[in-house]
Protein backbone atom coordinates (compact mmCIF):
# COMPACT_ATOMS: atom_id res chain seq x y z
CA UNK A 1 0.00 0.00 0.00
CA UNK A 2 1.19 3.49 -0.67
CA UNK A 3 -0.20 6.84 0.37
CA UNK A 4 0.55 9.89 -1.75
CA UNK A 5 -0.70 13.33 -0.72
CA UNK A 6 -3.12 11.60 1.66
CA UNK A 7 -4.64 9.47 -1.13
CA UNK A 8 -4.40 5.69 -1.03
CA UNK A 9 -2.95 4.18 -4.21
CA UNK A 10 -4.36 0.82 -5.24
CA UNK A 11 -1.70 -1.90 -5.15
CA UNK A 12 -1.75 -3.80 -8.45
CA UNK A 13 1.47 -5.77 -7.88
CA UNK A 14 0.84 -7.59 -4.59
CA UNK A 15 -0.57 -11.06 -4.06
CA UNK A 16 -4.32 -11.60 -4.13
CA UNK A 17 -6.02 -10.01 -1.10
CA UNK A 18 -7.00 -12.44 1.66
CA UNK A 19 -10.61 -13.26 2.37
CA UNK A 20 -11.93 -12.27 5.77
CA UNK A 21 -13.38 -9.44 7.82
CA UNK A 22 -11.54 -6.24 8.68
CA UNK A 23 -12.57 -3.30 10.84
CA UNK A 24 -11.02 -0.43 12.79
CA UNK A 25 -10.17 -2.75 15.70
CA UNK A 26 -8.07 -5.21 13.66
CA UNK A 27 -6.52 -2.83 11.09
CA UNK A 28 -3.50 -0.64 11.87
CA UNK A 29 -4.39 3.06 11.90
CA UNK A 30 -2.46 5.56 9.80
CA UNK A 31 -2.71 8.99 11.46
CA UNK A 32 -1.90 12.00 9.30
CA UNK A 33 -2.97 15.67 9.23
CA UNK A 34 -6.51 15.60 10.62
CA UNK A 35 -7.35 12.08 9.55
CA UNK A 36 -7.11 8.52 10.80
CA UNK A 37 -7.03 6.05 7.92
CA UNK A 38 -7.73 2.30 7.97
CA UNK A 39 -6.86 0.40 4.77
CA UNK A 40 -8.77 -2.88 5.06
CA UNK A 41 -7.88 -4.39 1.68
CA UNK A 42 -5.44 -3.34 -1.06
CA UNK A 43 -4.43 -5.54 -3.97
CA UNK A 44 -5.71 -7.76 -6.77
CA UNK A 45 -8.55 -10.30 -6.55
CA UNK A 46 -9.65 -13.13 -8.82
CA UNK A 47 -11.76 -10.68 -10.87
CA UNK A 48 -10.05 -7.31 -10.31
CA UNK A 49 -6.62 -6.02 -11.25
CA UNK A 50 -6.68 -4.07 -8.02
CA UNK A 51 -9.08 -3.01 -5.27
CA UNK A 52 -8.61 -0.75 -2.28
CA UNK A 53 -11.18 -0.49 0.53
CA UNK A 54 -11.20 0.97 4.00
CA UNK A 55 -12.37 3.71 6.33
CA UNK A 56 -11.27 7.22 7.21
CA UNK A 57 -12.14 9.40 10.19
CA UNK A 58 -11.76 13.12 9.43
CA UNK A 59 -11.49 15.81 12.08
CA UNK A 60 -13.63 18.97 11.60
CA UNK A 61 -12.41 21.01 8.63
CA UNK A 62 -10.17 18.22 7.33
CA UNK A 63 -9.95 16.57 3.93
CA UNK A 64 -7.87 13.45 3.28
CA UNK A 65 -6.37 15.20 0.23
CA UNK A 66 -7.26 17.89 -2.31
CA UNK A 67 -9.78 16.92 -5.01
CA UNK A 68 -8.04 14.37 -7.22
CA UNK A 69 -8.60 11.76 -9.91
CA UNK A 70 -7.37 8.22 -10.40
CA UNK A 71 -8.07 5.41 -12.88
CA UNK A 72 -10.14 3.40 -10.37
CA UNK A 73 -13.92 3.71 -10.12
CA UNK A 74 -14.92 4.54 -6.54
CA UNK A 75 -17.79 4.22 -4.08
CA UNK A 76 -17.67 6.32 -0.91
CA UNK A 77 -20.26 6.07 1.91
CA UNK A 78 -20.71 8.35 4.90
CA UNK A 79 -21.03 6.47 8.19
CA UNK A 80 -21.09 9.40 10.66
CA UNK A 81 -20.80 13.17 10.65
CA UNK A 82 -21.48 15.73 7.94
CA UNK A 83 -19.52 17.21 5.11
CA UNK A 84 -19.31 17.97 1.43
CA UNK A 85 -18.38 15.76 -1.49
CA UNK A 86 -17.28 17.18 -4.83
CA UNK A 87 -17.80 14.83 -7.77
CA UNK A 88 -17.26 15.96 -11.37
CA UNK A 89 -17.75 19.63 -10.46
CA UNK A 90 -20.92 19.08 -8.39
CA UNK A 91 -20.71 19.88 -4.67
CA UNK A 92 -23.14 17.92 -2.44
CA UNK A 93 -23.81 18.24 1.29
CA UNK A 94 -23.70 14.76 2.84
CA UNK A 95 -24.47 12.96 6.08
CA UNK A 96 -24.81 9.39 7.37
CA UNK A 97 -26.02 6.98 4.70
CA UNK A 98 -25.05 9.17 1.72
CA UNK A 99 -23.09 7.37 -0.99
CA UNK A 100 -20.99 8.69 -3.87
CA UNK A 101 -20.08 6.85 -7.05
CA UNK A 102 -17.55 8.32 -9.43
CA UNK A 103 -16.15 6.87 -12.60
CA UNK A 104 -12.45 6.45 -13.19
CA UNK A 105 -10.49 9.66 -13.82
CA UNK A 106 -13.33 11.83 -12.46
CA UNK A 107 -12.27 14.73 -10.21
CA UNK A 108 -13.61 14.18 -6.66
CA UNK A 109 -12.95 15.02 -3.02
CA UNK A 110 -14.48 15.11 0.46
CA UNK A 111 -14.31 17.58 3.37
CA UNK A 112 -15.66 17.38 6.92
CA UNK A 113 -17.72 20.57 7.37
CA UNK A 114 -19.29 19.48 10.67
CA UNK A 115 -18.41 20.17 14.30
CA UNK A 116 -17.37 16.59 15.10
CA UNK A 117 -15.55 13.68 13.47
CA UNK A 118 -16.79 12.41 10.10
CA UNK A 119 -16.35 8.74 9.18
CA UNK A 120 -16.50 7.50 5.60
CA UNK A 121 -15.85 4.18 3.94
CA UNK A 122 -14.47 3.74 0.43
CA UNK A 123 -13.92 1.07 -2.16
CA UNK A 124 -12.18 1.62 -5.47
CA UNK A 125 -11.22 -0.87 -8.16
CA UNK A 126 -9.97 -1.54 -11.67
CA UNK A 127 -11.38 -4.59 -13.46
CA UNK A 128 -9.09 -7.02 -15.25
CA UNK A 129 -8.60 -6.00 -18.86
CA UNK A 130 -8.66 -2.23 -18.05
CA UNK A 131 -5.54 -0.07 -17.84
CA UNK A 132 -4.62 1.34 -14.43
Q: Which pLDDT value is given to residue 10?
A: 86
Could you tell me the residue range of the domain that residue 59 belongs to? 2-127
In a domain, 34, yes or no: yes
Contact 16, 48 (CB under 8 A): no
Whole-Å CA distances, 24 to 36, 37, 90, 119, 132? 10, 9, 30, 11, 28
Mean pLDDT calculated for residue range 2-7:
60
Q: Determine, yes or no, domain membership for 51.
A: yes
Give me the CATH number covering residue 28. 2.60.120.10
Pick from 122, 129, 132, 118: nearest CA to 35: 118
Residue 132, in any domain of the structure: no
Is 104 inside any structural domain?
yes
The 10s digit of each residue's pLDDT in 84-128 is 999 999 999 999 999 999 999 999 999 999 999 999 999 999 988
What is the domain count for the chain? 1
Position 14 scores a pLDDT of 84
**pLDDT grade, residue 1 (50/70/90)?**
very low
Dist CA 87 CA 107 (whole Å):
6
Amino acid sequence: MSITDGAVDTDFASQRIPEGVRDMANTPAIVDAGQTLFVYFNGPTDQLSGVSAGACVLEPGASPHPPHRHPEEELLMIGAGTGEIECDGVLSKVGPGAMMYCAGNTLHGITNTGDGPMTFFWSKWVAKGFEA
